[in-house]
Amino acid sequence: MKNSYTTPFFSLLLLFLSGYGGLSFGVSPAFAQSVGNRQVQLRIRFVGAHGIRQREEGARFSPEISDLQEKLLRFPYRDFRLIDRKLTTVPVAKRTELPLAHGHSLAVRTVHVSEQRVGMWLKWTGGDGMEILDSRLHFTAQEPLLTGFEVEGDRGIILILEVRQEG
Amino acid sequence: MRRKDTTTDRKSGCVLRELEELLLSKFYDGECSFFERWQVRSLLKKKRAAGEFLEVLGEGSRQYGELLSSRVEERVPEEGRWEEVVRRIEEEERASQFLGNRVLDADGRGEESVFWRFFHLPTLLSREFMGAFACSAIVIVGAQASLPYLFRGDQSIDAQQFVDTQAGEVRRVQQQVPQRQVAEVRRTPELQPSSIVPVDLVSSVPISGRVGAPLTSENFDSNSFDALFSPAPNPSFSSLRRAPASVYRGSRPQRITAQREVQAPVEVDWIRSDGRVRMLGNSLTGAPTLFVKKRVLMRREASQVGKVSSPGSSSARSNPSGIVLQERTLPAAAFAK
């Protein structure tokens, strides 16, 4: 009878202790590795787009972004041109500031990363200090994250972010 | 020094603590519960200062009452009183047409029974009651959490009985329907009764592009039923869908909505922007795509400022209302072909 009464309380206590112990003494190596000295490879492409695409009208792409044609067609623009690109390695769980073209900047912090999934905080700031996007999101590691920003009615810039696990 | 005096005074019963004064005030106002009145009585016996405090309270109350009544008299002149009363009566009559008659219960408190005094609101909000209530809540919650463990043995017995009952019913159905009749029903679907439907074929439905192998009574393994819903090996996230499963009963297929939770390509914890953010394309497939548009108001204002501003000036400006307006963030040359 005593056991019946105390089971839920002991369960909660054990859960707490196991979680605490796991984090403190490295019982969970996967977690420790994910927040330890791991690094991820970040590939950034900064694309300028202009001209509103009419229906049935094709779009033009610069050769550096030809692999993203299908995805870029979601944006309503006609011409896409690569402005800037970066390939860098950033540590997991640490904030990294990356300057982009024309005064834009991107701050990223990888929350978690696995072969399938990436969790990331990112803050994209415009050249004039405008906070274009400040978000924490989780997305598929194999797929690029595309974020467009409408500068004017017929003009925009697109930030393409790809994350790969290193090693 | 003062503390020491207070202690000695307490012993002699000359000084009251703050809590005791509050208790006496409540007693004077008639707000004490049964227990509190008992406390006051014992306090009056123990400390002389308690009685003095009550006297002071009464004196002050009388003085304040006189002051208040004199102010009321000053405010409402003698000749206007009757008109005021008539007006109030008329108001009350009008209100009673909509709200019903109101019952005056202002002085009813003095005739309350001990029971209602014990349970009136200030008593219920007192620390003792709140503490008791919190303790009871903790005990009840703890007991409820323990109930499944307390009656675990009985529950398992009940569950076994339930299973036995179900199995008995199944056996009974099998006994009632002879094999020949089942075969006949299978041949003629229109004769199938609603309660007994022979299952010819159970088929899994393609999940994430994989065609499931049809299951028959020969190759069906009841221990591996989960295989019906197992995804294809090494699925990509973009290929996962919410897929319904179908079960074919006799010759008529019926769809059952067994839906599996599929991880979306993008999950957003929170998002913040100076513009308007929207998701482009199908949120369940492909690469996640966000599109940020500047707010409309900001753009309109910017275009108005653009008319009066000279080219080459700074990128951020203030309009007369003090709002900072932004111009384009990229030079036009960046878009040149």
| Chain position carrying tokens 């004196």 | B59
The answer to whether residue B98 neighbours chain A at the CB level (below 8 Å) is no
Domain boundary among B113, B135, B167: B113
**For residue B177, with 0-12 CB atoms within 10 Å meaning exposed, 13-18 middle and 19 or more buried, which class applies?**
middle
The pLDDT, as a whole number, for residue B232 is 40
Mark whether B292 and B250 lie in a shared domain.
no
Tell me if chain A has a CB within 8 Å of the CB of B272.
Answer: yes
Structurally, chain B folds into a number of domains equal to: 3
Shared-domain flag, residues B236 and B330: no
Cβ contacts of B137-144, under 8 Å, gap ≥ 24: B142/A9
The pLDDT tens digits of the residues spanning B103-157 come to 665 455 545 555 666 666 666 666 677 788 888 888 888 877 766 655 544 444 4
Residue B163 located in a structural domain: no
Confidence of residue B178 (pLDDT cuts 50, 70, 90): low
CB B319 within 8 A of CB B305: yes
- Same-domain status, B24 and B100: yes
Q: Is position B320 within any domain?
A: yes
pLDDT (tens digit per residue) in B42-83: 889 888 888 888 888 887 777 666 655 555 555 556 667 788
Task: Indicate the average pLDDT of chain B.
Answer: 61
**Of B20-29, B156-165, B323-332, where does the model show the most confidence?**
B20-29
B289 in the same domain as B226: no
Give the best residue of A106, A133, A161, A163 to mutate against chain B (max B CB count within 10 A): A133
Q: Which of A118, A91, A93, A96 is nearest to A107 (CA)?
A: A96
How confident is the model at residue B142, as a pLDDT? 80
Cα A35 from Cα A109, distance rounded (Å): 11
Position B153 in a domain: no
Claim to verify: residue B235 and residue B281 sit in the same structural domain = no
pLDDT for A123 equals 93
The list of chain A residues with pLDDT below 70 reads: 1-37, 167
Please give the pLDDT value at position B225: 45
8 Å CB contact of B330 and A5: no
Residue B132 domain-assigned (yes or no): no
**Which of B292, B334, B335 lies closest to A133 in CB terms?**
B292
Cβ neighbors of A89 (< 8 A, separation 6 or more) are A39, A40, A41, A42, A166
Among B94, B113, B132, where does a domain finish? B113
Residue B7 and residue B50 in one domain: yes
Q: What pLDDT, on a 0 to 100 scale, did the predictor assign at position A122?
A: 92
* Cβ–Cβ gap A4/B150 under 8 Å: yes
Q: Provide the pLDDT for residue A12.
A: 66
For β-strands A131-140 and B266-272, DSSP reports them as antiparallel
| Domain contains B93 | yes
Query: With left for phi above 0 and alpha for psi between -120 and 50, is residue B322 left, alpha or beta?
Result: left
AA identity, residue B166: Q
The whole-angstrom distance between A164's CA and the closest CA on chain B is 15
- C-alpha A70/C-alpha A103 separation (Å) is 28
Compute the distance between CA of residue B272 and CA of residue B250 in angstroms, rounded to an integer: 54
Tell me, yes or no, whether B215 and B284 share the same domain: no
Pair (B27, B98) in one structural domain: yes
* Cβ contact A104–B329 (<8 Å): yes
Q: Can you give the length of chain B in residues?
A: 337
Question: Which of the residues B151, B238, B273 would you substitute to probe the A interface, choosing the one with the greatest number of A C-beta atoms within 10 Å?
Answer: B273
Query: Which class for A79: exposed (0-12), middle (13-18), buried (19 or more C-beta within 10 A)?
Result: middle
Report yes or no: B23 and B40 within 8 Å, Cβ to Cβ: yes
For residue B207, give the amino acid letter: I
Residues 6+ apart with CB under 8 A from B21: B53
Higher-confidence position of A157 and B262:
A157
One domain for residues B8 and B92 = yes
Q: Answer yes or no: is B140 within a domain.
A: no
Asked if B284 and B241 sit in the same domain, the reply is no
Is B222 within 8 Å of chain A by CB? no
**B99 φ/ψ sector (left φ>0, alpha ψ -120 to 50, else beta):** alpha
- What are the DSSP E strand ranges found in B198-239? 202-203, 214-215
CA nearest A127 in B: which residue?
B329
Give strand pairing partners of A134.
A123, B272
Q: With 60 as the cut, is the pLDDT of residue B165 above it? A: no
Q: Is B146 on the interface with A (CB under 8 A)?
A: yes
Question: Which structural domain, as residue segments, surrounds residue B307?
Answer: 276-335
Say yes or no: B254 and B308 in one domain.
Answer: no
pLDDT digits (tens, 9 = 90+) for B281-326: 765 566 788 888 877 654 454 455 444 444 444 444 444 544 544 4
What confidence score (pLDDT) does residue B315 get? 44
Give the number of residues written for chain A: 167
Residue B243 pLDDT exceeds 50: no
Q: Please identify, among B216, B233, B262, the residue that sits at the C-terminal boundary of a domain.
A: B262
Closest Cα in chain A to B272: A134
Kindly give, in sequence order, each residue whose CB lies less than 8 Å from that of residue B227, ignoring residues fewer than 6 positions away: B221
Contact: B329, A126; criterion CB under 8 Å = yes
Q: Do A133 and B146 touch (CB under 8 A)?
A: no
At residue B242 the predicted structure's pLDDT band, cuts being 50, 70 and 90, is very low
The answer on B224 and B322 residing in a single domain is: no
